Chain A
């Protein structure tokens, strides 16, 4: 038991290092000199050399990587070349907004997914099942940026019920759980919740249907247990997998929110990344991806550990 947990936690170290190497190389993959964004093309050669030395671009790549990692561990991811602000501040400021959106979206998606999946699994083959399965396939097939546009058209343009962009009244960035802020969250959260809804529905439906076929369910019913109690047994069997799927989905939402954030101008990591790409702000690009990827690695770790704790069979593999 202890060894599995220990091994799984240790495994995070090489993965994180590899991820950081990938993020470091991203900047060097990109065409053009990263210096171009800092100094103008007609700057005198001495100035270029000076700035290069200041940024450490004149050193060999492995050394640059080593320095970058050491600084990153200390929480210093460099400065934005677009506005000169610290990358760490920018990324974590945006990450809070993205997390809020992703958490609400996964909560909606998870609740609906479990509900739909259980209904469809219990009455497999019924009309309800077909309807729910259709919704689930739609949920995983829909281009969510397009769904976002449709929701804006219906609820913002046609009905004028909800705002179409931003994360609060005016340009305020401090979130409060009040209606004037929450109304900005509704449309992007619903848009983003469609994917986990579809995935969770499919998973839960398949599992419920499978578990109902097990002999133990028949035995429970045969001994006269109320259907509600039988259902509890089913829930117990489905819960670990459903939770694990949801945990991973939350991670995918963090990465996947970029398109939705762009549609709704939600000030999260997606919008930050999008702006960084078009301003060629490579430190921000690198920093955002690094933070999101590490977050995803840790989330994976927690999902694995939680699942192993709930279902001891996993540790034996």
Chain B
């Protein structure tokens, strides 16, 4: 019975290595990933732009000037030119970070909370409840994400709240699916059985034993959705379904500047540069986080 003997050999940790917490380990791994670091830094700068917009923006994002319409990049007083109503592009880009980040990130945050809850319950309870919940989720999979978002936003009518709601609905099913599959795995582990045998109630088991093991993978998966969400949220505004003029929002700015591409092409694409930067940095940071947290 060498097997039982083997299992009794204590697995000694290296004496010199300090015992690090899980998150400490994750962050130290992230620090050694240059791509993720740079992406994170750029995102921080853009976030700072959003927070400190009133101090950073040289002008009001709303003040129009008919005399200064569609100025090119490098005009005196308008370093990044002006839009079709003579508003300072730089100021609008800075202020635009507020709304664009908000409508891009909020749907994923909402969906993370709701989708995790649905998926964890479905996975933990299992059986018929699981089947019913997951079949309903399947229905939403019958729609390509963009179509579902536009269908809902279009039917509900234009507006920020409706666009937030539509995108939240779009992201709940994929997150719930991931949450369900992770929870189903965890549920079958011995320590859950042990907790149940020792008389713990379901809620206690979920709180103390399940959450800690499933939230990591769900979180990583959700961060990978932020990039899509940014593109879609600004896309809805681009179609005229999200933010309303004269709000500074990158997608809407792209839309209102569309006719200006014949006059002053390179100013009109600047809002897209911002959307692209945020989206690609989110993807890179998410990839880095995935390998740092060692999630499949």
Contact = CB atoms under 8 A, between A and B. Distances in A.
Nearest to A147: B272
B51 interface: no
- What's the dominant secondary structure at chain A's contact region? helix
B139 A19 contact: yes
B276 to A, nearest CB: 6
Interface string B155-171: 11100000000000000
Interface stretch (B12-20, B87-95, B116-124, B254-262): B254-262
A252 B235 contact: no
A184 B283 CA distance: 32
Nearest to A290: B151
A56 B241 CA distance: 30
B272 A140 contact: no
Interface residues of B, number: 44
A149 B269 contact: yes
B147 A142 contact: no
B269 A255 contact: no
A255 B135 CA distance: 22
B155 A278 contact: no
Contacts of A18: 139, 142
A140 B238 contact: no
B262 A19 contact: no
A141 B227 CA distance: 6
A150 B142 contact: no
Contacts of B280: 137-138, 141-142
Contacts of A300: 142
Which secondary structure dominates chain B's binding surface?
helix
B146 A256 contact: yes
B217 interface: no
Contacts of B142: 15, 18-19, 293, 296-297, 300
A141 to B, nearest CB: 4
A131 to B, nearest CB: 13
Nearest to B154: A277
B144 A254 contact: yes
Interface string A1-27: 000000000000011001100110011
A146 B154 contact: no
B231 interface: yes
Given A153-B269, A289-B151, A30 B157 contact: yes
A252 B145 contact: yes
